[in-house]
Chain A
């Protein structure tokens, strides 16, 4: 798949909101999960 330009890639053929909305929220979920896991591990190791 050759997008030609970054603009075309980001535009996703007019479906940018839907495609990037899906991938963005997924990335956000993973980020939040990893952050909360790291916080929980720190607390558990301290014995709090």
Chain B
């Protein structure tokens, strides 16, 4: 037990507050375990429905033929890659400000999944670019800033893994994560700010989407599935991180049945 956990559990005023109660890894561990099956099941159902619409309901695209079906995976992955980074940076910032142990663990748990979605976005983008643009890759603003996002995830993971003391690793990683947030609006607005090969947003909050309703439905279902999957996977990873970091704590030893 570190000094911080004693302080958190010792203050009666804070103790009753739900958010702070579950900010203690010991309390969050079983809660996360109970949530994982639900989010996992939701992810599976949404992905099944999304894939069905993507391949068996959505019509062939007039210009791109069947190649456009990559959109269902590409957009969901690209959205998640940016969204997860923002969530990771928020947890990291929260950890810096409040000095709660769980915040840094959450940030570390999000990074690998964020990197995975960034890779999928780049990979599916390359496979989509070849038949439609005639090239796997161009150094244009959208693609380059997304590649930088991948390096930011890798940098965060390398930095936090390189520092032995996990609390110091969290703080160093948090600074990197927060500085890197600047890249997110650059990715998002790159198609407007620069002349790029990448098309503009197909879906926007302010105007009607420029695509068939069934295509849009498939895309949104896949995005929701990616969202639920991410929550389930991050919760599973944070549970392992909690056990690894608190392996000497009384409650973890009790969990393992040692002593």
Q: Which residues of A are at the interface with B, using a C-beta cutoff of 8 A?
A: 1, 3, 9, 12-15, 17-19, 21-23, 25-26, 29-30, 33-34, 37, 40-41, 43-47
A22-B124 CB under 8 A given contacts A45-B256, A46-B256: yes
B243 touches A45 (CB 8 A): yes
Majority SS at the chain B contact face: helix
Instruction: From known contacts A1-B58, A25-B120, A33-B112, infer whether A18 and B67 are also in contact, taking CB-CB under 8 Å.
Output: yes
Q: Which residues of B contact A43 (CB under 8 A)?
A: 240
Find the A residue at minimum CB distance from B119.
A29
- Shortest C-beta distance, A23 to chain B (Å), equals 6
Stretch in contact with the other chain, from B15-23, B91-99, B148-156, B229-237 = B229-237
Inside 8 A of A18's CB, which chain B residues have their CB?
Answer: 67, 70, 127-128, 130-131
A15 touches B56 (CB 8 A): no
Residue among B56, B60, B127, B247 making CB contact with A13, cutoff 8 Å: B60
Listed by A's residue number, 29 A-B pairs whose Cβ atoms lie within 8 Å are A1-B57, A1-B60, A12-B66, A13-B65, A14-B66, A15-B67, A15-B131, A18-B67, A18-B130, A19-B67, A19-B127, A22-B73, A22-B74, A25-B123, A26-B120, A26-B124, A30-B229, A33-B112, A34-B233, A37-B233, A37-B237, A41-B236, A43-B240, A44-B239, A44-B240, A44-B244, A45-B256, A47-B247, A47-B258
A47, B257: Cα distance in complex, Å: 11
Q: How far is B76's CA from A22's CA once the two chains are assembled, in angstroms?
A: 12
- B65 close to A15 (CB less than 8 A): yes
Q: Smallest Cβ distance from A27 to chain B, in angstroms?
A: 10
Interface string of B199-241 (1 = CB under 8 A from A): 0000000000000000000000000000001000100110111
List the B side residues contacting A37 at CB < 8 Å: 233, 236-237, 240
Q: Say yes or no: is B69 at the interface (Cβ < 8 Å to chain A).
A: yes
Say yes or no: is B116 at the interface (Cβ < 8 Å to chain A): yes
* B55 at the A interface (CB under 8 A): yes
Q: Is B37 an interface residue (CB 8 A)?
A: no
Q: How far is the CB of B243 from chain A (nearest CB, A)?
A: 4
Q: Is B239 in contact with A41, judged by CB distance below 8 angstroms?
A: yes
Q: A17: which B residues are within 8 A, CB to CB?
A: 127
CA distance A43 to B244 in the complex (A): 9
Determine which residue in A1, A14, A22, A33 has the highest number of CB atoms from chain B within 10 A of its CB, and name it.
Answer: A22
Docked Cα-Cα span, A20 to B32, in Å, equals 34
Residue in chain B with minimal CB distance to A2: B56
Residue from B59, B66, B123, B239 in contact with A15 in the complex, judged by beta carbons closer than 8 Å = B66
Residues of the A chain whose Cβ atoms lie less than 8 Å from the Cβ of B70: 18-19, 22
* Bound Cα distance from A19 to B239, whole angstroms: 35
CB-nearest residue of chain B to A8: B66
